[in-house]
Amino acid sequence: MMTATHTRRQFLHTLSLGAGALILPKILCRPGKEKLGVALVGLGYYSTDLLAPALQQTKHCYLAGIVTGSPRKIPAWQRQYGIPDKNVYNYENFDEIANNPDIDVVYVVLPTSMHSEYCVRAAGAGKHVFCEKPMARTVAECEAAIRACQDNKVSLAIGYRMQHEPNTQEIIRIGRERVFGRPTLVKASAGYYDGRSDHWKQKKAMGGGALYDMGVYPLNAARYCIGEEPIAVTARHSTKRPEIYTEVDETTHFELEFPSGARAECATSLGMGMNELHATYTDGWARLSPFQAYSGIRGEASNGRRFDASIPNQQAKQMDDDALAILEGRPMLAPGEEGRRDIRVVEAAYEAAKKGERVILD
């Protein structure tokens, strides 16, 4: 997620562009291309400190361009990564990216409220799309992005890096193959202390809040550990800093019910650290601790087995997997539909917290 301040003026201006944006001719990946050029949209913390360095380690894609509303950032990026002027865009001329054969993939790394718009515009420009999680604010926004990619015959992947991580893939396998029997209970939590007092993650209109920002980690984990879609949710919010968290949730606890009778007890926060995943089955258990850190993911199971496979860089693995899927014409590991499934539950969890009652998921 981008953490640099995105001004209100820029935010409102970009929202006004989507519907009337000029859709230019599409230029898809050239046949025989071995590496895909990626343009990062939004140059905040996640792009600057994680994605751009990771793209120096990838085998199937590379950093080809940038899109930013902060001109002062451009010279440093060009010096560090050798990005030519023709591959630098802002939010006003973004749609011209359609005419640039250097760029095959647009990676949307903006505030959540802007994800759907830039997925739609990127697809309209004929570019494949990587979109950072959470996918969008609403199911309707998710569906708009999915439809745009389908209509323009481009791929869409959501940045669920943990699904590409080998220890996470092992705990998914344990549940899928019933190694310890049927899953019965998942406990998952993800959070950190955010000391900022005026940031887009604390603004409702921009898609802020703990449940959006970090809550999709335990939610996604509950779904991939149990292997089912939840049928009901209860939730409650709390805050230790009501003077800061006036519009969105600082901490949320939520419980999920699944068709088999399995349950998930989840927590997420922007006010405290938490990072655990524990799955209980009819005949044993497995856990990851930490389960969504950028490195050091480690697991163990009730049979005494430990799993701590190491990879050099999670973001590089995620982007390489997705780029290779495009090059080979395969489905994405975490497509747009995966992001939509989580946002469906997030919307229901907010409704449950507001009403103070259990909400049935259609």
Query: Is residue 130 located within the same domain as residue 152?
Result: yes
What is the torsional sign of CA 257, 263, 268, 272? positive
Amino acid identity, residue 155? Answer: S
What does the pLDDT read at residue 33?
Answer: 78
Percent of the chain with pLDDT over 70: 91
Phi (first) and psi of residue 211, to 5 degrees: -65, -40
- Characterize 222-243 residue by residue with b for buried, 16 or more Cβ atoms within 10 angstroms of its Cβ, and e for exposed: bbbbbebebeebbbebebeeee
Q: CB-hemisphere CA count at 13 Å for 103?
A: 32
What is the four-CA torsion angle of 267, 278, 261, 163, rounded to 10 degrees? Answer: 80
What residues make up the domain containing 252? 166-310+335-360
| Residue 278, strand partner residues | 187, 287
User: pLDDT per residue over 170-201, tens digit each?
Assistant: 999 999 999 999 999 999 999 999 999 999 99
- What the block records as the tokens of 174 is 């344990």
Domain boundary among 136, 160, 184: 160
DSSP 8-state code for residue 50: I
Let me know how many helices (H) and strands (E) the chain has, helices first: 11, 15
- Amino acid at residue number 36: L
CATH of the domain at 228: 3.30.360.10
Tell me the per-residue pLDDT of 254-294, one tens digit each, with 9 for 90 and over.
Answer: 999 999 999 999 999 999 999 999 999 999 999 999 999 99
Let me know whether 233 and 343 are in one domain.
Answer: yes
> Which helix (H) or strand (E) element contains residue 140?
helix 139-151
- Over the Cα atoms of the chain, what is R_g? 20
pLDDT in the model for residue 46: 98
pLDDT band at 9 (very low <50, low <70, confident <90, very high): very low
Is the same domain home to 223 and 198?
A: yes
Q: How far apart are CA 25 and CA 152, in angstroms?
A: 11
Given this model, what pLDDT does residue 31 score?
56
- CA gap 275, 277 in Å, rounded: 7
**Does residue 321 fall inside a structural domain?**
no
Do 143 and 228 fall within a single domain?
no
Q: Tokens 């103070």: give the residue.
A: 356
What pLDDT band is residue 253 in, cutting at 50, 70 and 90?
Answer: very high
pLDDT at 30: 54
**CATH code of the domain containing 116:** 3.40.50.720
In this structure, is residue 320 part of a structural domain?
Answer: no
Which SS3 state, helix, strand or coil, does residue 83 take? Answer: coil
140 assigned to some structural domain: yes
Compute the distance between CA of residue 105 and CA of residue 318 in angstroms, rounded to an integer: 14
Chosen domain end from 122, 139, 160: 160
Higher-confidence position of 22 and 148:
148
Question: Average pLDDT of the chain?
Answer: 92
Listing DSSP states for 186-242 in one string gives EEEEEEEE---SS-GGG-GGGT-SHHHHTTHHHHHHHHHHHTS--SEEEEEEE-S-T
Please compute the mean of the pLDDT values over residues 356-361 and round it to a whole number.
98
Q: pLDDT tens-digit profile of 295-306?
A: 999 999 999 999
Single residue among 133, 160, 187 that ends a domain in this structure: 160
How many domains would you assign to the chain? 2
Mean pLDDT of 65-75: 98
> pLDDT confidence of 22, banded at 50, 70, 90?
very low
